[in-house]
């Protein structure tokens, strides 16, 4: 059975990941998010919590990266699926050298262009998607529909 690491920051990123959950639960899936209580509310049994961070919070990003590295070493995923923000990007960056293939799904909230993390994710993700066809065309990403 394939091991899948599913990562999303709290809020809309997490909500979109939860909508993808039916496609993920057929695998050995570990969910990672940034807010305690979210997995329990969604009745997710197998999860980890990491420090929330963004590009302006260097110390928090380092803590999150260390936590993500520890999770990757323990879980050893074959695939990483993320609907974003910086913790998801960190998972892709840290998982790629270990052979994990990444899928980045940019948030539906990014209507005009890819998110900053999404632009960086193109460099490390095996597959990169946006939820808007005009953004996919302009940014060289894939559009396969919307999660929401």
Mean pLDDT, to the nearest integer, of 61-72? Answer: 98
**Would you call 70 helix, strand, or coil by DSSP?**
helix
CATH number for the domain harbouring residue 36: 3.40.50.2000
How many domains does the chain contain in total?
1
In a domain, 12, yes or no: yes
In a domain, 148, yes or no: no
In a domain, 89, yes or no: yes
pLDDT at res. 108: 86
pLDDT at res. 74: 98
In a domain, 63, yes or no: yes
In a domain, 103, yes or no: yes
Q: Which residue has the higher pLDDT, 84 or 87?
A: 87
Q: What are the φ and ψ backbone dihedral angles of 118, each rounded to 5 degrees?
A: -65, -40
| 148 pLDDT above the threshold of 80 | no
Exposure class string for 5-38: b at 16+ Cβ within 10 A, else e: bbbbbbbbbbbbbbebeeebeebebbbbbbeeeb
Whole-angstrom CA distances from 55 to 9, 50, 89 are 13, 15, 11
In a domain, 92, yes or no: yes
Name residue, tokens 């963004």.
Answer: 54
In a domain, 86, yes or no: yes
Q: Which two tokens stand for residue 53?
A: 């961070």
Domain containing 107: what range? 3-143
In a domain, 20, yes or no: yes
How much is the pTM?
A: 0.95
Each residue's pLDDT tens digit, 85-141: 999 999 999 999 999 999 999 988 889 999 999 999 999 999 999 999 999 999 989
**For all residues of the chain together, what is the average pLDDT?**
95
């Amino acid at each position: 059975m394939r091991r899948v690491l599913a990562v999303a920051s709290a809020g809309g990123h997490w909500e979109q990941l939860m909508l993808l959950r039916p496609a993920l639960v057929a695998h050995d899936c570990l969910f990672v998010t940034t807010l305690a209580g979210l997995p329990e509310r969604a009745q997710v049994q197998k999860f980890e919590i990491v420090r929330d961070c963004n590009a302006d919070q260097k110390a928090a990003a380092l803590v999150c990266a260390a936590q993500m590295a520890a999770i990757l070493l323990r879980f050893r995923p074959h695939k990483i699926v993320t609907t974003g923000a910086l913790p998801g990007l960190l998972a892709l960056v840290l998982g790629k050298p270990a052979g994990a293939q990444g899928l980045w799904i940019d948030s539906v909230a990014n209507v005009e262009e890819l998110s900053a993390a999404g632009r960086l994710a193109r460099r490390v993700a095996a597959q990169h998607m946006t939820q808007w066809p005009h953004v996919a065309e302009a940014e060289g990403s894939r559009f396969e529909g919307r999660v929401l």
